[in-house]
Structures are given as structure tokens and as C-alpha cells.
């Protein structure tokens, strides 16, 4: 049975190449919204973090109607750290729209997402986006895309891809550059023509592969997936074929289909449809819902392993419990367990009752989780990110990344020098003729931890870099990433101008007057290699002797305020970041100065 009335397609691309903007226009031009309805830009980026950062973090489902055909669309992230979001939706679709910027051409993440799509045998349509740019180079970009397909060993059918030229911002697309275009109709027509319609036996036993998990506080876990074969009905008894090898008898309480940005209740659905089901408490990504009399699990896509880990600890600072709603180890474990249900590229390991090791794809992957939990009212501490090492017959192995860098010509030597200190090997160097040089390196993943802010400083904010996981290789030895120590608070109290004025001679301060501090809290960066204890709470002694000018206002240097990512980049191995809904603080693991010095001597 072929479902000519359905097309399932994912939109994949490098970060900032216009995926979410294109989905916005497809929704608007398909009549999903009323003519007088106000619609925000990037409507698919629905959570606060996505809107603030201008990036897509989670893959999301939507659908549009074009004539009599329902097009199910999945918007995916472009960042390498969220590659798991791209991998897990590959079984839900029959084709992909590969977006490529008309100026930048194929970028590192373009290679990653396309490789995953080709491996699954999906049919691609190449969309050259941003053709309205004055510096667009459309013909060269198409040639570069073809070279990329050949390099990734695409089959003959995939190599014969259709090309569409579009401006997602202006909501127009065309099949030839000379054509006049006013809307996205040519793109919709190509989707119907090029993307295979789903097919399967609607009379056979049910197979519904779960590729995504949503959560609702009223109805619990919601499984989202594509019907491979058979028909699913509301209140149907079924068998959950778990990825853990167990088969459980379950009941499908509710059944939903996607309509625009929302879900609607339906009674039944058949082959090719993407649906959501609720009522199954133990449902996980990769599970298959089967008929009671025909249990056959569908193999799931292999998800790449995590490469970075951090320890999440119960907050034990003197300020613990003052600012957060969820502060206990049980709260922390329950929240992390819930994250593991939907975040397939992340893994959790319990170190102790108060410490949990969370493994992910990169610093951004983990920092997004930390920031999300912080906004939900959680209070906890996290350690410095570490790479995940492997012991093999060949010795100790560590993860490596391919690093793609674009920097102004005058900053090239500084970047090469810094990366050399981080054990990077330069693979390629290519001037572009526009004052920008493209560099390519192979670098241990731990060499990138804490490098982004240093890189932006060295390139005065003009540099850009992207990285992709390259595999494991022999351990390259120690990498020294921090050349300075910390200024550590000597006592608990409130920071005052006099104490800060004396302390700022020792380094760069992170706090201003009126900040509550405790012993062992990091309040600045030392000008020396070693840590220095400072008393920022020290007040000026009052005497009856007055010298000329002694009452002049003390001049304080404005403090350096760190974001969460900058804090994670800064901390040393013996430090933690204390995260609460109101504050982000850096602290020593051992707060007491004497105990800390004794531990360092040992």
C-alpha cells in the first residue's frame, strides 16, 4: 500500500543556514495560520533557551497541508552537540531537505547530517538558501554539494538530487535561477515529486517505531513515531518491544496526529503516518509498539557515543537551599533520569548517592541541560568537563575532533600557536582572497575545553570555528589550559569596596560590592599561577586621625561577570560551579583553606 496523501520529510543543515525560518514560511504559506493571526519569527523554536540563543536544540514535529497531501515536517538542530536529535529522527522520514547557505556552501555539520541521511537511504532535495545575499555564489555551492555527495559515497539515485533555489526569509523558491518567484510553491511541488511516499501493509500486524519522547505533567510520557506497518487505534491493546529486550503488554490510551503546531485526538491511523501515543509509562526512544499476535521489533538507528562527561553534585555550600526549590539528591536524580528518556545522546551513571556522572556530546550539550534545570528551580553543583577515555590493547585512547577555523589573516599565527599548545595538528590552510584564512586541524577533544573565549579574544570576535567528532586515537599527554590561579574568599560575609579595592591588585575580580560570599568561593582570577586567599569582606578601620584625601572614593575596576559556559570553561579540576535559579558561583571543592592546602600537598 502506497500512501500518496502523505510525505514525511526532515529539514537538515549546518547551524544558521535557515532551517527554522524555512519551516516558518512553509507553515504560513500552507494556510496553517489565520490571515489575521500574529505569528512570531522562528515559531518552531518554542522554548526560551532556543529563542534567546537563536538556535534549535530539540527536533520538533509539525505538518502542513498542500492540496490533498499532508506533509509531515521535522525541524532539526544544526549544532554538532545536538547530533543525537538528528540521528534519532532518521527512521521517521522518507526524505530530507538539505539546506545549504548560498555564500558559505557545505559546512562541517552539513557533512555530518548528510552522512546520516545517506546511510539510511533517504532521498535528498538540495535547497540552496539565502540566494538574495549579494555575495551568493550559487553555481559553486552546487558543485561543492555534489563533491560532498561523491565523498560520502552516495548511490546513483541520491547523486541525481533535485536542486531548489530559495530565500527562506522572503518566502520564495524556484527551480531555475532565471525564474521569477513569489512563493514556496516550487518547493512544495518538488517535495511531492521527489520525496517517496510511505508504503507498507496496512493489514499486517502493527509496527510503530518510537523516535521521540515528549512529556506532559497531566498525561505523562508521550511516544512519537512513524507507523511502519499495520493500523493503530485508540484504546488498543498492544505489546511494547523494548530496546532492553523485554516485551510488555500495554494499552494505548490516547492517539494523536500532528496538525500545524499542535496535536489533535484521532481514533485510528495507518501506515506512513507520524503519530503520538500516551498511556504507556515505560515507553522509551527506540521501542516498537506491536500487535499482540505479531511481535517484531524494528532495529533502531545507532546513536554515536558521548565524548564529554561532567559530575552533577548536590550543593553543599554554606548557601545551599536558600535559592532553589529542588535541592536534594532525590530531586537531582529524578530530573536527570527524566532527561535520559528523551535525550538519546546523553548517558547517566550514579557515582554515589550525592554525585551523578552525566555524559554528552560536548560542552554546549551539557550546559543547555544545566541552564534548563536552573530555570526549573534546581540547585546543584557541577565539575569541570572531562573527556571520556577508553582503555584498549593499544593503550589509552581519547576522542579527537576535526576543527574547522575561519580567521582574519592577521590572527592566523596566534590561533596556530594556541592550538599547537593544545596538541592540535594542522591539516589544511587555505586563504580565501577576502582577508579570511580557512584552517583545518585535528585536535584532542579536551584541547577544545575552555578554548572558545580565548579564541574570540585572539581574533577580536571575528573568528569562527566548528568541530566534528573524528574518532578515538592514542592519548597525547597533558595539556595545560589554565596559566593562572584563582582569588579565593578568605571568610564568609558581604563583599565591601575597601576589601575589593585591596584584592583587585592581585588579579581580576568576578564580583562587586554587596555580593554575599563564603569561605572557599572563587571571587576572581589571580595574576599568578597559584591560588591566593583574599579578604573581600575587610572594612576600613575607623580612627580619629584623618589624612588629606583618605576619604576619597575608592576606584574599583568593573568586575568580569561570567556566563554559565564561561564559568565551566574557567574552572580548574579542584573547583566546581554552583548553579542556582538566582546565581552562578565558582567555588573550591574543599572550602576550608587549611584542609585544601593539606590536600594539595598530598
* Full 3-state SS string of 168-216: CCCCEEECCCCCCCCCCHHHHHHHHHHCCCCECCCCCCCEEEEEEEEEE
- Is 19 annotated among the ligand-binding residues? yes
Helix (H) / strand (E) containing 408: strand 395-408
Pick 559 or 107 by higher pLDDT. 559
Q: What is the pLDDT of residue 359?
A: 93
Using DSSP, state whether 144 is helix, strand or coil: helix
pLDDT tens per residue across span 420-450:
999 999 999 988 777 889 899 999 999 988 8
What value does the CA radius of gyration of the chain take, rounded to a whole number of Å?
A: 27
- Is 347 annotated among the ligand-binding residues? no
DSSP 479: -
CB atoms within 10 A of CB 153: 11
Q: What is the pLDDT of residue 211?
A: 85
- Is 132 annotated among the ligand-binding residues? yes
DSSP 102: T
What is the rounded distance in angstroms from the CA atom of residue 280 to the CA atom of residue 215?
12
- Is 78 annotated among the ligand-binding residues? no
Q: What is the pLDDT of residue 586?
A: 95
DSSP 22: H
What is the rounded distance in angstroms from the CA atom of residue 117 to the CA atom of residue 114?
5
Per CATH, the number for 486-601 is 2.40.50.250
- Is 544 annotated among the ligand-binding residues? no
Find out whether 225 and 30 touch, Cβ atoms under 8 Å.
Answer: no
- Is 16 annotated among the ligand-binding residues? yes
What is the rounded distance in angstroms from the CA atom of residue 64 to the CA atom of residue 44?
13
pLDDT tens per residue across span 59-105:
667 888 888 899 888 877 756 556 666 777 788 889 999 999 998 88
What is the dihedral sign for C-alpha 203, 194, 147, 465? negative
Return the CATH number of 390-474, one of 3.40.50.300, 3.40.50.10490, 3.30.70.240, 3.40.470.10. 3.30.70.240
- Is 20 annotated among the ligand-binding residues? yes
> C-alpha angle 96/99/101, rounded to 5°?
170
Find out whether 334 and 472 touch, Cβ atoms under 8 Å.
Answer: no
Structure-block grid coordinates of residue 472: 578515538
Domain 207-290 fold is Elongation Factor Tu (Ef-tu); domain 3 (2.40.30)
Q: What are the residue boundaries of the structural domains of the chain, listed by start?
A: 6-194, 207-290, 390-474, 486-601
Among the listed residues 188, 195, 196, the one whose alpha carbon sits nearest the alpha carbon of residue 25 = 188
Residue found by looking up cell 494523536 in the block: 256
Regarding the domain with residue range 6-194, which homologous superfamily does it belong to in the CATH classification?
Answer: P-loop containing nucleotide triphosphate hydrolases (3.40.50.300)
> What percentage of the chain reaches a pLDDT higher than 90?
38
- Is 458 annotated among the ligand-binding residues? no
- Is 595 annotated among the ligand-binding residues? no
- Is 538 annotated among the ligand-binding residues? no
pLDDT tens per residue across span 287-335:
899 999 888 888 877 777 888 999 999 999 999 999 989 999 999 999 9
| pLDDT band per the 50, 70, 90 thresholds, residue 551 | very low
pLDDT tens per residue across span 201-228:
888 889 999 888 877 777 888 888 899 9
Q: Is 392 left (phi over 0), alpha (psi -120 to 50) or beta?
A: beta
Q: What is the pLDDT of residue 36?
A: 43
Find out whether 447 and 419 touch, Cβ atoms under 8 Å.
Answer: yes
DSSP 497: H
Amino acid at each position: 500500500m502506497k500512501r500518496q496523501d502523505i510525505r514525511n520529510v526532515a529539514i537538515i543543515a549546518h547551524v544558521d543556514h535557515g532551517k527554522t525560518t524555512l519551516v516558518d514560511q512553509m507553515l504560513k504559506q500552507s494556510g496553517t495560520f489565520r490571515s489575521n493571526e500574529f505569528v512570531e519569527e522562528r515559531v518552531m523554536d518554542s522554548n526560551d533557551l532556543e529563542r534567546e540563543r537563536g538556535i534549535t536544540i530539540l527536533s520538533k514535529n509539525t505538518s502542513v497541508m498542500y492540496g490533498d497531501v499532508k506533509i509531515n515536517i521535522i525541524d532539526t538542530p544544526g549544532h554538532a552537540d545536538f547530533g543525537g536529535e538528528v540521528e534519532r529522527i532518521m527512521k521517521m522520514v522518507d526524505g530530507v531537505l538539505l539546506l545549504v547557505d548560498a555564500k558559505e556552501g557545505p559546512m562541517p555539520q552539513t557533512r555530518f547530517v548528510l552522512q546520516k541521511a545517506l546511510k539510511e537511504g533517504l532521498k535528498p532535495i538540495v535547497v540552496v538558501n539565502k540566494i538574495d545575499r549579494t555575495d551568493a555564489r550559487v553555481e559553486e555551492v552546487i558543485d561543492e554539494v555534489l563533491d560532498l555527495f561523491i565523498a560520502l559515497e552516495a548511490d546513483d539515485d541520491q547523486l541525481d538530487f533535485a536542486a531548489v533555489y530559495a530565500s527562506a526569509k522572503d518566502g520564495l523558491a524556484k527551480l531555475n535561477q532565471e525564474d521569477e518567484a513569489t512563493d514556496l510553491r516550487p518547493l512544495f511541488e518538488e517535495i511531492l515529486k521527489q520525496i517517496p511516499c510511505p508504503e507498507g501493509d496496512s493489514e499486517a500486524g502493527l509496527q510503530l517505531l518510537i523516535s521521540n519522547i515528549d512529556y506532559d505533567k497531566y498525561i505523562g510520557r508521550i511516544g512519537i513515531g512513524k507507523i511502519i506497518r499495520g493500523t493503530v487505534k485508540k484504546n488498543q491493546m498492544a505489546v511494547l518491544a523494548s530496546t532492553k529486550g523485554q516485551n510488555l503488554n500495554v494499552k494505548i490510551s490516547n492517539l494523536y496526529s500532528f496538525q500545524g503546531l499542535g496535536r489533535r485526538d484521532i481514533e485510528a491511523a495507518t501506515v506512513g503516518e507520524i503519530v503520538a501515543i500516551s498511556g504507556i509509562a515505560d515507553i522509551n526512544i527506540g521501542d516498537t509498539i506491536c500487535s499482540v499476535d505479531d511481535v517484531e521489533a524494528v532495529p533502531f538507528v545507532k546513536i554515536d557515543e558521548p565524548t564529554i562527561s561532567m559530575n552533577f553534585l548536590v550543593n553543599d555550600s554554606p548557601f545551599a537551599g536558600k535559592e532553589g526549590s529542588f535541592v536534594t539528591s532525590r530531586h537531582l536524580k529524578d530530573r536527570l533520569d527524566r532527561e535520559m528518556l528523551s535525550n538519546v545522546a546523553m548517558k547517566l551513571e550514579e557515582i554515589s548517592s550525592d554525585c551523578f556522572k552525566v555524559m554528552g556530546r560536548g560542552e554546549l550539550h551539557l550546559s543547555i541541560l544545566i541552564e534548563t534545570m536552573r530555570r526549573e528551580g534546581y540547585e546543584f553543583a557541577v565539575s569541570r568537563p572531562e573527556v571520556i577515555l577508553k582503555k584498549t590493547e593499544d593503550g589509552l585512547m581519547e576522542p579527537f575532533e576535526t576543527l574547522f577555523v575561519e580567521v582574519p589573516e592577521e590572527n592566523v599565527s596566534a590561533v596556530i600557536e594556541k592550538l599547537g599548545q593544545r596538541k592540535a595538528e594542522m591539516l589544511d590552510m587555505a586563504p580565501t582572497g577576502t582577508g579570511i584564512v580557512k584552517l583545518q586541524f585535528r585536535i584532542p577533544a579536551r584541547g577544545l575545553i575552555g578554548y572558545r573565549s580565548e579564541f574570540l579574544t585572539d581574533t577580536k570576535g571575528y573568528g569562527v570555528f566548528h568541530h566534528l567528532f573524528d574518532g578515538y586515537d592514542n592519548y597525547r599527554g597533558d595539556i595545560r589550559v589554565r596559566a593562572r590561579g584563582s582569588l579565593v574568599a578568605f571568610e564568609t560575609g558581604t563583599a565591601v569596596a575597601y576589601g575589593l579595592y585591596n584584592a583587585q591588585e592581585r588579579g581580576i575580580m568576578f564580583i562587586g560590592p554587596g555580593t554575599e560570599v563564603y569561605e572557599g568561593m572563587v571571587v576572581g582570577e589571580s595574576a599568578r599561577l597559584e591560588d591566593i586567599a583574599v579578604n573581600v569582606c575587610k572594612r576600613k578601620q575607623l580612627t580619629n586621625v584623618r589624612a588629606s584625601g583618605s576619604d576619597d572614593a575608592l576606584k574599583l575596576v568593573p568586575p568580569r561577570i561570567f556566563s554559565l559556559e564561561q564559568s565551566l570553561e574557567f574552572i580548574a579540576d579542584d573547583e566546581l560551579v554552583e548553579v542556582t535559579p538566582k546565581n552562578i558561583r565558582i567555588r573550591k571543592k574543599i572550602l576550608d583553606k587549611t584542609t585544601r592546602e593539606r590536600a594539595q600537598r598530598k
